[in-house]
Structure 1
Amino acid sequence: MPVPLTTPAFGHATLANCEREQIHLAGSIQPHGILLAVKEPDNVVIQASINAAEFLNVSSVVGRPLRDLGGDLALQILPHLNGPLHLAPMTLRCTAGSPPRRVDCTVHRPSNGGLIVELEPATKTTNVAPALDGAFHRITSSSSLIGLCDETATIFREITGYDRVMVYRFDEEGHGEVLSERRRPDLEAFLGNRYPASDIPQIARRLYERNRVRLLVDVNYSPVPLQPRISPLNGRDLDMSLSCLRSMSPIHQKYLQNMGVGATLVCSLMVSGRLWGLIACHHYEPRFVPFDIRAAGEALAETCAIRIAALESFAQSQSELVVRRLEQRLVEAVSRDGEWQAALFDGSQSLLQPLGASGAALLFEGQVMTAGDVPSTQRIRDLASWLDRRRKAPDAPAQGLTVTASLTLDEPSFADIRSIASGLIAAPLSASEGEYLLWFRPEQVRTVTWGGDPLKAVIIGDDPSDLSPRRSFAQWHQLVEGKSEPWSPAELASARLVSETVADVALQLRSVRMVIAQDQLATISAQVLRSEQPVIIADVEGRILLMNEAFEQQLRASHPHIPHLRDLSSYCTAPAEFRANLDDLMRNKRSWRGELTLTGGASPQRPLMVRADPVIAPHDRVLGFVLIFSDLTERKTAEAARARFQEEIDGARRPSLRLDQSASLIYKELAASTVENAQLAALEVTHGAEAGSMPEMLESIRNSTARTLGILEHLVWYRSQSEE
């Protein structure tokens, strides 16, 4: 019979400070299994859940080596102790107790030392391989996010048998929304409900990132404490982050009881290294699912996460195509008319559609041009002045986009334009004041449906100590004003692409003007010098008229003495190639588009894209040359990450465990679907993601793929071992 804990668990947290609740230091487990904390290398039990002796039918557990606990427990664990048990638990089928009986044993190493061994009663294994193979194909063939979530919820309900399965996504503020749901027909629908960020504290989210499958068998269980409570190894609470039996937070337990839920299974969706959402399974009476079903759920969740990354990257690549067409139009306009502003607004949908914006404005050289629904010209100028002040503030962020979905929260004086401009993206086009490209979204007065009143997360009873999570989860409707639809990461990426293109074209034109209009030299050269993009301007003989600070920083030299373009060759890793391209530019008036790599002694090499053009006056007279450079470091890093991804994925196909011929064939079939999904996702990321984010996204896909393959291999091995 479980006894109460003698010391407070979970870091002395209460409902009033649940954000500080140390849920990984539970000090207790759920009662359907036992936990043994073991000291190495003699493998002696130093802590145990107080139900361990009864479970094993032995007189005592603490102080005894594993080999004395009956069966082949110690023998089966031994071969796996050299594996990465600190990263992921290992589950195997063995025997333990007196007389020995079959159990599922899960082993891992906690962060503060030792070994954790968890035992659950063995159940008949299920051959989930055929269901998984079909499920993988259904997931990877989903062509939209909602379609994918619907398919995933359907598959989870089929495989796990829970009464309700929800796919739940977190927004940028941490609130959750039920995107898809499959349920018993008699249950109330939760589809579309939102739940406040406070329902899942940050420490719980971090644990969902590490331990990606969590099972609660019976919400009304009594916790089984560890004895002794404090680890003799280090005098501290046992770190139970990766424990499959870890007791749930009593606050979370009460929350579920208030919802009427009897049991849960939750799988994490990790996309691009962040907790994108959860697959939450609810049952309305106690429900135990064995290891093979839990492992199948984890593999499916990882596969779903990879597909989410692919779909999000595909959406970004489609927007990028529109942006590239816009860029081409600007370049053609400059070549034809010497102006680009009108071309930017010729066919305004190409400026608005990639961002889902309702209006846009360009402030450049004192002029204002607009498209779509925008505030008055004066209010647009007021916005530019406000943005200028923000950029000068001591705590101003680094140069980049200013983004908000609630402009009036950031600056109440703009309340009069919230119906048009509650949402704002502002991209500076130069270092000069008042030069911006702006996108607007209108206020969207809407009703948000919450699963219970988010303002009543805590209920206080008659007794001040009687605190409880909210007891009502009836739909609660909130009118939201002063906010637009939030800007998505893909839309922000499009904004960066468009603004960089516009800034680049503007800089190129200013550089050309500097060569042509000597009377405007002081004004225009100051604008070019302040540019954050590396630029060199030279006369017809190749003598350098201007080299801005951004280029000097690429050389890692302060005011380098470079009088002539040809002197740059000494800073290049391929000087002969540089001189040949320069010669072609100067002699034949041919534009040069290519790459070069700068080196500066001990400094690392820096790859740059160079765009060099002659400035030509009437009658084909060359006035000079403009060279504009772009840093390719991110792109080269992304290319290397793509090559490394492919190499590692190819190597990941090979199983590390010893599988017999039949098991090996099953694994290879499942692995093929997983690798195909990963390669498709990597292709979409390569084509759609920004170069700067691509390595992280590819690494996330690689991690999910490796994790999935590891789970599948383990699952196949576990089943073959269980049948022996």
Structure 2
Amino acid sequence: MNFSDYIFHQPITLTNCDREPIHIPNAIQPHGVLLIFNEDNWQITLVSDNTDSILGYSPQELLNQSLSKILSTEDIDAITHCLDRDFEAINPLNLKVCNAAQETINFSGIVHRSLENLIILELEPVHQKETYDFLGFYQLTRQLLAKIKHASNVSILSQLIAEEIREITNFDRVMVYRFDLDGSGEVIAEAKQPDLHTYLGLRYPDSDIPKQAKELYRLNKLRLIPNVNYQPAALIPNLSPVTQKSPDLSLSVLRSVSPLHIEYLQNMQVGASMSISILKNNRLWGLIACHHQSSKYISYHVRTFCELIGQLMSIELSNKEDQENLNDKITLKNLLSHFVESISESEDFIDVLSQNKSRLLQLVNASGAAVISNNVIMLLGRTPLENQVQELIDWIIPNLQNNLYYTNALPQVYSPAEQFKELSSGIIAISITKTHRNLIIWFRPEVIQTVDWGGNPEKQKNIDEKGNLILSPRKSFEKWQEIVQLKSLPWQKYEIEAVIELRSVIVGIILKKADELAVINEQLQESNNELDAFAYIASHDLKEPLRGIHNYASFLLEDYRHQLDEDGVHKLDTLMQLTNRMENLINALLHFSRLSRTELYRTDIRLNDLANNVLNVLKISQSEHQINVEIADDFPLVQADRILVEEIYTNLMSNAIKYNEKPEKEIEIGWTIGKPHWALIDHQCFHQDVPVFYVKDNGIGIREKHFESIFRIFKRLHGRSQYGGGTGAGLTIVKKIVERHGGQIWVESKLMEGTTFYFTLAKSNEN
């Protein structure tokens, strides 16, 4: 039977390499024996087929037999105690096995529960009398801890560990191999025989260690292959009678390894290997890889000590990595402190960021940045063009994870970035608030690098007799250089953390200010309600005495005009005019106060029909003027209060006629989605996918300094007798109606050229 038949029943191809089921190889390495037994009756249900050479019993002689056939009651009791305890703390057990010749042989027994809850016992012969000096072990550990403590960074720590492992095991070569974020790895430390060429500094592609192999390294922290050229011992039967599946050997120390990995080691001219996993936060950070040119067996006790060294390194990693780039980290902390102080004192965090351009770039060592607020883009430093950034934002937003996205190879995932690779081959982006598209993006330029690989990173591809594309490990591990383009310098972990912290600071301050504004708005709402009620009561109660004064003055004129001189009659006429004006003002105030409490009755409205109706009414009172009115005929259907919207158009159209000194008065009534070409102001509503309605004229215009004040109640820009008079409440009422509908209104104008009023009748993305 071929070696690979134990491992995988299909050829290993480019499409299935990452799915090779290496955790269920149905075979073990032959330097030990594997037994699976029932916990209830200790009956052996599955056994490796090499028991004859090691125990003197054929597999058939052991299957369905009790463990007592080969183990004493004392040893079985020891295994029983193991089943209820932490296996790693107990293994290995010193077991005495009785072979077929009734001889007692010493074994290291390793017992564990598989991930399928099967009880697995592995037996490794003790080849020589091993003595374990506890005091010596303690001294070694103590000395190692002292050395680890004094290692100033990860590089020195890694070299120390490589040297210690080689000293203990006497392997020809020991390397510390660190994984990168993309899955590739680099040899960062090496201890070796002087005559061997070095692998230090060489990189290896992600595909050299497939994903499922990395997961096994995470689960099983040490693996030994004493003889790379071994013939595997098959499991009999190949399916467990309990699960009816091949047993899961993920945690087995004897598990047979992938034939692809064996070929890989043979190509490296390695005769034996041992690997120790280095974990950080329960994730695979790297490996301690040990290679020997000939076969080499390491006892379980020594392997356990090596595993302990790997765990000590894992524990110390965080401390050492925190010490690296300490000055940069302190600088970032100072920058963040400055931003916290500045943003908390400012009304707008965008202003703070724009005023601290150099600090914002220094925060992540970037060459440029874009600050986006409500689709308005502010560019800082060296960046792509604004339209390129806008398209990039549309791509980034769906790719955000936890409000963050970063890459140092943007052109490889976003092809348009090749056009501006010298400005941005790397980006890091944070979303402040998703609803208003508030983001910050930092840019890094392309940095062309030379990468030293341990041989050509491409695996060798062969075609089998059926035409399948077969993978074969590369055979060369000599230094192979690659020029890497379309990449920036990588983002460091502490830089990513600084960006996340900056976002937290901004969001925290925004939320705090939002709470403060909510309280103020609540107070203002109460005040507005009280003012509305007061205005309604006051205007209602004032109308009766005012009407009495008007009537009384009228009676005086009718009854006593002949007795009064010209001055007396003039004064009574003036009094009546003032009472009429006062009543108009009170009616306007009363109408304005009612708008806040009146319920809206929304119906479907075609605004071109409504505008034509308003025009027909206005023409009756404006028949002496030459008025040219153009009304669009394709208005969208809107849901609004017909009476109130009619009042909007009545006020705006009558103002367009009233404040116009030209012989021919031009009025255009229409709508748009997006900014029209004539618009002077790039208002945010043009970018919110809602209809924007407008009334445009060629009248006298308004000075820019009055754009806000014209919407204040009773605010007039001209004398009472100019342009037909008026109360000055019309535009205030229009603004109130627009806001009641959830919309906005604004004006743009050029003096003596004309005015355009824009308004919406719905919130963003509402119809």
SS of 1:419 mapped into structure 2: coil
Q: What amino acid does structure 1 have at the position aligned with 2:413? A: D
1:261 has 2:309 as partner: no
In structure 2, which of residues 515, 518, 536 is the aligned counterpart of residue 537 of structure 1? 518
Show structure 2 runs of 5+ residues with no match.
528-767
Query: How far is 1:185 from its partner?
Result: 1.2
**In 1, Cα distance between the equivalents of 2:412 and 2:472?**
32
- After alignment, is 401-410 or 69-78 more displaced? 69-78
TM-score after normalising by structure 1: 0.65
In structure 2, which of residues 82, 85, 88 is the aligned counterpart of residue 83 of structure 1? 85
SS of 2:286 mapped into structure 1: strand
Query: How far is 1:6 from its partner?
Result: 10
Instruction: Name the structure 2 match of 1:291.
Output: 300
1:370 has 2:371 as partner: no
- After alignment, is 324-333 or 268-277 more displaced? 324-333
SS of 1:362 mapped into structure 2: strand
Query: How far is 1:381 from its partner?
Result: 5.3
SS of 2:481 mapped into structure 1: strand
In structure 2, which of residues 185, 192, 198 is the aligned counterpart of residue 189 of structure 1? 198
1:495 has 2:504 as partner: no
Q: What amino acid does structure 2 have at the position aligned with 1:112? A: E
In structure 1, which of residues 349, 366, 382 is the aligned counterpart of residue 388 of structure 2? 382
Q: Is the 8 A contact 1:58 1:69 kept in 2?
A: no
- After alignment, is 456-465 or 301-310 more displaced? 456-465
Query: How far is 1:96 from its partner?
Result: 0.7
SS of 1:132 mapped into structure 2: helix
Q: Is the 8 A contact 2:278 2:284 kept in 1?
A: yes
SS of 2:62 mapped into structure 1: coil
The Cα offsets for residues 409-461 of structure 1, whole Å up to 9 and x where unpaired, read as 33333323212311111223444656432222221111212112122343458
The Cα offsets for residues 561-582 of structure 1, whole Å up to 9 and x where unpaired, read as xxxxxxxxxxxxxxxxxxxxxx
Change (3 A) 1:129 1:236: same
Change (3 A) 1:203 1:431: closer
SS of 1:471 mapped into structure 2: coil
Change (3 A) 1:251 1:413: closer
Instruction: Name the structure 1 match of 2:227.
Output: 218
Q: Is the 8 A contact 1:19 1:203 kept in 2?
A: yes
In structure 1, which of residues 465, 468, 475 is the aligned counterpart of residue 472 of structure 2? 468
The Cα offsets for residues 112-166 of structure 1, whole Å up to 9 and x where unpaired, read as 3432111111141444332222112222332212122111112111122111111
Query: How far is 1:43 from its partner?
Result: 0.8
Change (3 A) 1:496 1:99: same
Instruction: Name the structure 2 match of 1:360.
Output: 369
In structure 1, which of residues 10, 13, 17 is the aligned counterpart of residue 7 of structure 2? 10
Q: Is the 8 A contact 2:110 2:121 kept in 1?
A: yes
**In 2, Cα distance between the equivalents of 1:397 and 1:73?**
57
Q: Is the 8 A contact 1:44 1:65 kept in 2?
A: yes
Change (3 A) 1:113 1:248: same
SS of 1:229 mapped into structure 2: coil
Q: Is the 8 A contact 1:361 1:370 kept in 2?
A: yes
In structure 1, which of residues 100, 110, 119 is the aligned counterpart of residue 114 of structure 2? 110
**In 2, Cα distance between the equivalents of 1:168 and 1:176?**
6
SS of 1:94 mapped into structure 2: strand
Instruction: Name the structure 1 match of 2:54.
Output: 55
SS of 2:81 mapped into structure 1: helix
Q: Is the 8 A contact 1:15 1:458 kept in 2?
A: no
Query: How far is 1:339 from its partner?
Result: 6.8
Change (3 A) 1:390 1:234: closer
TM-score after normalising by structure 2: 0.61
**In 2, Cα distance between the equivalents of 1:49 and 1:115?**
14
Q: What amino acid does structure 2 have at the position aligned with 1:12? A: H
**In 2, Cα distance between the equivalents of 1:5 and 1:44?**
30
User: Aligned Cα RMSD in Å?
Assistant: 3.2
Q: What amino acid does structure 2 have at the position aligned with 1:537? A: A
**In 2, Cα distance between the equivalents of 1:540 and 1:428?**
27
Q: Is the 8 A contact 2:7 2:27 kept in 1?
A: no
Change (3 A) 1:153 1:79: same
Query: How far is 1:24 from its partner?
Result: 1.3
Change (3 A) 1:334 1:247: closer
Instruction: Name the structure 2 match of 1:37.
Output: 36
Query: How far is 1:325 from its partner?
Result: 3.0
Query: How far is 1:360 from its partner?
Result: 3.4
SS of 1:539 mapped into structure 2: helix
Query: How far is 1:326 from its partner?
Result: 3.0
Matches within 5 A, 1:329-408: 329-330=338-339, 332-333=341-342, 344=353, 350-364=359-373, 366=376, 368=378, 370-371=380-381, 374-375=382-383, 379-380=385-386, 382-388=388-394, 390-391=396-397, 397=400, 400-408=403-411
The Cα offsets for residues 334-363 of structure 1, whole Å up to 9 and x where unpaired, read as 687867667647776643444243433434
Percent identical pairs in the alignment equals 32
Q: What amino acid does structure 2 have at the position aligned with 1:386? A: L
SS of 1:538 mapped into structure 2: helix
**In 2, Cα distance between the equivalents of 1:114 and 1:333?**
62
Instruction: Name the structure 1 match of 2:594.
Output: none
Change (3 A) 1:42 1:479: same
Q: Is the 8 A contact 2:264 2:473 kept in 1?
A: yes
1:428 has 2:431 as partner: yes
**In 1, Cα distance between the equivalents of 2:436 and 2:349?**
20
SS of 1:9 mapped into structure 2: helix
Change (3 A) 1:415 1:80: closer
Instruction: Name the structure 2 match of 1:442.
Output: 445
- Higher RCO (CA-CA < 8 Å; seq separation 6+): 1
Query: How far is 1:270 from its partner?
Result: 1.1
The Cα offsets for residues 363-419 of structure 1, whole Å up to 9 and x where unpaired, read as 457463524xx126xx1453144304653xxx5546612312122233333323212
**In 1, Cα distance between the equivalents of 2:516 and 2:264?**
60
Change (3 A) 1:129 1:88: closer
SS of 1:26 mapped into structure 2: coil
Instruction: Name the structure 2 match of 1:28.
Output: 27
SS of 1:267 mapped into structure 2: strand
Query: How far is 1:221 from its partner?
Result: 0.8
Q: Is the 8 A contact 2:346 2:352 kept in 1?
A: no
Instruction: Name the structure 1 match of 2:481.
Output: 477
Count of aligned pairs between the two proteins = 512
Show structure 1 runs of 5+ residues with no match.
512-527, 529-533, 547-724
**In 1, Cα distance between the equivalents of 2:508 and 2:71?**
73
**In 2, Cα distance between the equivalents of 1:273 and 1:424?**
28
Q: What amino acid does structure 2 have at the position aligned with 1:221? A: Y
Query: How far is 1:81 from its partner?
Result: 2.4
Query: How far is 1:271 from its partner?
Result: 0.7
Query: How far is 1:22 from its partner?
Result: 0.9
**In 2, Cα distance between the equivalents of 1:148 and 1:230?**
45
Query: How far is 1:52 from its partner?
Result: 1.3
Larger radius of gyration: 2
Matches within 5 A, 1:410-421: 410-421=413-424
Q: Is the 8 A contact 1:73 1:95 kept in 2?
A: yes
The Cα offsets for residues 58-97 of structure 1, whole Å up to 9 and x where unpaired, read as 4632232111215554243232222245x88831112112
**In 2, Cα distance between the equivalents of 1:92 and 1:113?**
20
Q: Is the 8 A contact 2:444 2:489 kept in 1?
A: yes
SS of 2:388 mapped into structure 1: helix
Query: How far is 1:333 from its partner?
Result: 4.3
Query: How far is 1:177 from its partner?
Result: 1.1
- After alignment, is 346-355 or 63-72 more displaced? 346-355
SS of 1:67 mapped into structure 2: helix
